[in-house]
Every structure is written in structure tokens, then in C-alpha cells.
Amino acid sequence: MLSYYREEDNVFQPDVIYIAKENTGIIRDGFIYGVPDLAVEILSEGTARRDKTIKKSGYEKFGVKEYWLADPIHKFIDQFILMDGQYRLTATFTEDDRLVSATVPCLAIELSGVFKDDL
């Protein structure tokens, strides 16, 4: 399934998304015509700057409720929650932590398994 959001000349295609059951109407013909509830970007040398600036600003403007920036090299995830139309960094999780989503019911991830070195 391809997902994207267009803002002027910018196209946004998150690495991972979550769409709540009540919002599945935005999924049509293999595309997403709307805003997911959660967007996740996995940072790489080639994408980090865009993910932290242009995409973060775009997701904020579109109204994505929760945004994660995952850094596999430094083994952390920044969790941003949309509050009053602006993202607030609510937590930075490391490989020793358990990330609990503020948007996705029952989503809790033990990051020690995510950041394992032998994957």
C-alpha cells in the first residue's frame, strides 16, 4: 500500500504508519487519501535532515497525531505528540525503555528487541 501526503512540491511517504479503525475510510484503491494517526520515520544518513525538518513540519501541519523519529545507529526514538496544533517532544526512548504510544491503543514496544545488534 502506498501512502503519501502532498504539500506544494513535497511528497511525504512515511516508513511506517498506523490508521485507526474508525479512520480506515481514507484507504482507497491501495492509496491513502488522508492523514494516518501515527507516522514513523527511520533515520538514515540520506534522510535524517528531511525527516527532522520538512517531514516533521508537514506531518504537524497535516494533523498526524503522533510522530516517531527512530534512530537505529544511536538507538533511540523521539516521540512527538500533536498538542494544540504543534508537536511536543513527549519522550526520548532508548534501547532500555518501553515505548508506549499515546495514540495507538495497546501499543507498547520493548525497544531492547528493536535495537538488537544481531538482527
**Residues 65-80: tens digit of each pLDDT:** 999 999 999 999 999 9
What band does 118 get if pLDDT is binned at 50, 70 and 90? low
C-alpha cell, 25: 475510510
Reported in sequence order, the residue ranges of the chain that DSSP labels E, i.e. its strands, are 2-3, 5-7, 10-12, 16-18, 27-28, 31-32, 38-42, 66-71, 76-83, 86-94, 98-100, 108-110
- Which residues share a beta bridge with 81? 66, 88
pLDDT value for 13: 86
pLDDT(30) > 60: yes
| pTM of the entire predicted model | 0.88
CATH (residue range 2-114): 3.90.1570.10
Residue located via cell numbers 544481531: 118
Note the pLDDT tens digit of each residue in 93-107: 999 999 999 999 899
- List the 86-94 sheet strands across, edge first: 16-18, 38-42, 66-71, 76-83, 86-94
